[in-house]
Amino acid sequence: MKKPFRKFTKRIKNWIIYAAVRSGVLWMLCVQRATTMKFLQAVSMFGYYIVPSERKKTIKNLTKVFGDTKSPEQIKQMAKDVFRNLGRNMADAFAIPRFKRYNIDNFVKAEGLEHLSKALENGTGAIALTGHIGNWELLGAYLAIKGFPINVVGAPIYDSRLDELVVNNRLHSGMKYIARGTATRDIIRALRAKEIVGILIDQDTKRVDGIFVDFLGHPAYTPIGPVVLAMKTKAVIVPMAIHTKKHGKHYIKVKPQLPLRFSGDVEKDRIYNTKLCNDALSDFILENPTQWVWMHERWKTKPGD
């Protein structure tokens, strides 16, 4: 009796979550952008105080990286800013359909796009390397709106209705979507078609192959997918990130392609090249530390686990 009841309550919970998210997205598309940003910023700050587990993880990880240079009070303020920025970025992530070719430049500025254009001119395709920094959803949307052939890789969400909502939000701007289940085949096809594939590698997950290399100064289990793909297809890896200023504008920085090493020693090259990737992302995070998702357990997996 308990099992059917649990299934029933789970269905009800999922329906409520879906209805709330869908209604929220529609509301955000109907009201002024400043209103949605203030509202979700307030919601995120509310979460900072009522969800102690996420607050504690955020402070713990910030202390791990900045404990030697920041006081406990400064780190606590950084943690609040992390939540505040997450809310502000969620507002624009959910409302990507409001951004069009004619008005995107009013909200997003970019530097270094020539590095991405140059990478595509090589004829090998490009891997856009980024992380959960700033409004990463808007980063992909901006590239698509600007005419870059961008594919994004994502894992399906547990609720198919929510998954469809998120995927359609991405497709609306012109991005192509690659589901993780078929990712390798479709990514290789996209790269060989001289397109861009956006991949995020700043999360600790055992669902993908990885190795331990330093991330923000500490050993972290890191996905090797981008490096393996680059070594297989000769695609270049171009690091990029986006961050949001207090006035609400987003800034994208694209750096030159990474100087990958192809020495013939596959294992050593994987380690070396993956470290290049992590170093690039670490630099972005250190430039704007409160734009990253510090509540993620980035160093949870240990060697030998």
What would the pLDDT profile of 115-172 be if each residue is shown by its tens digit? 999 999 888 899 999 999 999 999 999 999 999 999 998 777 777 787 777 777 777 8
Q: Helix (H, G, I), strand (E, B), or coil: what is residue 47?
A: helix
pLDDT computed for residue 11 by the predictor:
72
The three-class DSSP label of residue 95 is coil
pLDDT tier for residue 108 given thresholds of 50, 70 and 90: very high
Q: 115 is in which domain, residue-wise? A: 104-291
**CA nearest neighbour of 174 among 154, 199, 149, 193:** 149
Is 63 domain-assigned?
no
The pLDDT > 70 percentage for the chain reads 95
Residue 109 has pLDDT above 80, yes or no: yes
Q: What contacts 296, CB < 8 A, 6 or more positions away?
A: 57, 61, 132, 202, 203, 204
Judge whether residue 51 has pLDDT over 90.
Answer: yes
Contacts of the segment 95-100: beta carbons below 8 A, 24+ positions apart: 95/25, 95/28, 95/29, 95/33, 95/36, 96/137, 96/138, 96/141, 96/169, 96/170, 96/172, 96/173, 97/29, 97/169, 97/172, 97/173, 98/29, 98/33, 99/138, 99/141, 99/142, 99/145, 99/173, 100/145
Confidence of residue 181 (pLDDT cuts 50, 70, 90): low
- 126 near 236, Cβ under 8 Å? yes
Residue 174 lies in a domain: yes
Q: How far is Cα 95 from Cα 29, in angstroms, rounded to an integer?
A: 6
Tokens of 18: 């879906």
Does any domain span residue 91?
no
Query: Looking at the domain assignment, is residue 227 inside a domain?
Result: yes
Does residue 109 lie within any of the structural domains? yes
The confidence band for 182, taking pLDDT boundaries of 50, 70 and 90, is low
Spatial distance between the Cα atoms of 194 and 122, rounded to a whole number of angstroms: 9
Domain count, the chain: 1
Instruction: Give yes or no for residue 2 having a pLDDT over 60.
Output: no
At 4, is the pLDDT very low, low, confident or very high (cuts 50, 70, 90)? low
For residue 174, the model assigns a pLDDT of 87
* Mean pLDDT over each residue of the chain, to the nearest integer: 90
The verdict on residue 132 lying in a domain is yes
Q: Provide the pLDDT for residue 8.
A: 62
Nearest to 221 by CA among 240, 207, 232, 235: 207
How many other C-beta atoms can be found within 10 angstroms of the C-beta atom of residue 106?
A: 9
User: Could you give the CA distance from residue 66 to residue 75 in angstroms, rounded to a whole number?
Assistant: 8
Which H or E element spans position 151?
Answer: strand 150-154
Which positions ≥6 away from 290 have C-beta within 8 Å? 78, 81, 82, 84, 85
Asked if residue 81 is part of any domain, the answer here is: no
pLDDT tens digits, one per residue of 248-273: 899 999 999 999 999 999 999 999 99
- pLDDT for the residue numbered 50: 95
Lowest mean pLDDT among 1-5, 19-23, 265-269: 1-5
| Burial class for 217, CB neighbours closer than 10 Å (0-12, 13-18, 19+) | exposed
Q: Pairing state of beta strands 210-215 and 250-254?
A: unpaired
Q: Which residues contact 276 (CB under 8 A, 6 or more apart)?
A: 237, 258, 259, 260
Helices (H), the chain: 2-30, 33-50, 52-66, 72-94, 113-121, 136-145, 160-171, 183-192, 225-233, 266-287
In a domain, 283, yes or no: yes
pLDDT at 95: 83
